[in-house]
Amino acid sequence: MSIYVDENTRVVVQGITGREGRFHTRQCLDYGTAVVAGVTPGKGGQEMEGVPVYDTVAGAVEDTGANCSLIFVPPTLAADAVLEAADAGIGLAVTITEGIPVLDMLRVKTHLQSSQLRLIGPNCPGIISPGRSKVGIMPGAIHKPGGPIGVVSRSGTLTYEVVDQLTKQGIGQSTCLGIGGDPVNGTSFLDALEAFERDPETAGVLIVGEIGGDAEERAAEFAAREMHKPVVGFVAGLTAPPGRRMGHAGAVISGGSGTARSKIEALRENGVTVCEDLGSLGDCCARAFLGVL
């Protein structure tokens, strides 16, 4: 198994005719992902990379049975794209778009409370079940199929780095997802940890955090209280000065809270193995997960 996506995931790409949408649709298709439809209003009836294009998500779902949306819609329209996917009965929306206004995301969060749709992102690299399905912009080649380790990260590029290190250690992954670093997002660390704990093919979890907010602290408490699988953590931003935003909109230290050091201490206090040196994370994981590999 894996969490959220697998070989049965049927993807509709919202924004498929744009430059990014077209490029990454081809990458997903080449990986073996079942991309069954695209949506760009006003361009229904066309084809893009051999994929039929529809004017609406509802039309795409009706014709193709799509159950997952990959969203490359511009920031001002991306919230409406998520809501359209939800109204069409899509179960999972992966939103790559960066820069969606916070007020728009608050509107989305409120709407999704009464919806079956799970949102991953926004401002994220997406999700991959290695060898099964890639719904996002991550490089598929660095992932190793058939492994027992789940990865969940706030940072896209750091996800690639830690996955590459795992693969070079011979450690395969069950599912890897980037939850995004925006202040308001869909799936949280807690959601992913809960799903990994239930997944029989995941034997251990690596979480990659960064400065800002309290998501890592809450994840640490959840791991100590609810998880029976080993957890390894890494937190980026040890040298980040207070008040300086580092990358993501949510990665900012406010006063004395949200620092990398406070997050590392919270993880350790709750039984999570922490690696402070990114360059040795692969070695650290090989040791920490030795009993479950």
> Is residue 152 packed enough to be buried (19+ CB in 10 Å), middle (13-18) or exposed (0-12)?
buried
Cα 131 from Cα 145, distance rounded (Å): 5
Cβ 59 vs Cβ 36: under 8 Å: no
Is 248 a catalytic site residue? yes
Please answer whether residues 236 and 276 qualify as being in contact, where contact means their C-beta atoms are separated by less than 8 angstroms: no
Burial class from Cβ neighbours inside 10 Å (0-12, 13-18, 19+) for residue 55 reads middle
d(CA 149, CA 172): 6
The CA distance from 271 to 293, in Å, is 19
In whole angstroms, what is the distance from residue 95 CA to residue 131 CA? 21
DSSP at 117: P
Could you give the 3-state DSSP secondary structure of residue 127? Answer: strand
- Please tell me the distance from the alpha carbon of residue 54 to that of residue 49, in angstroms, as a whole number: 14
Catalytic residue among 24, 111, 143, 248: 248
Q: What is the per-residue DSSP string for 53-73? A: EES-HHHHHHHH---EEEE--
Just list the catalytic residues.
248
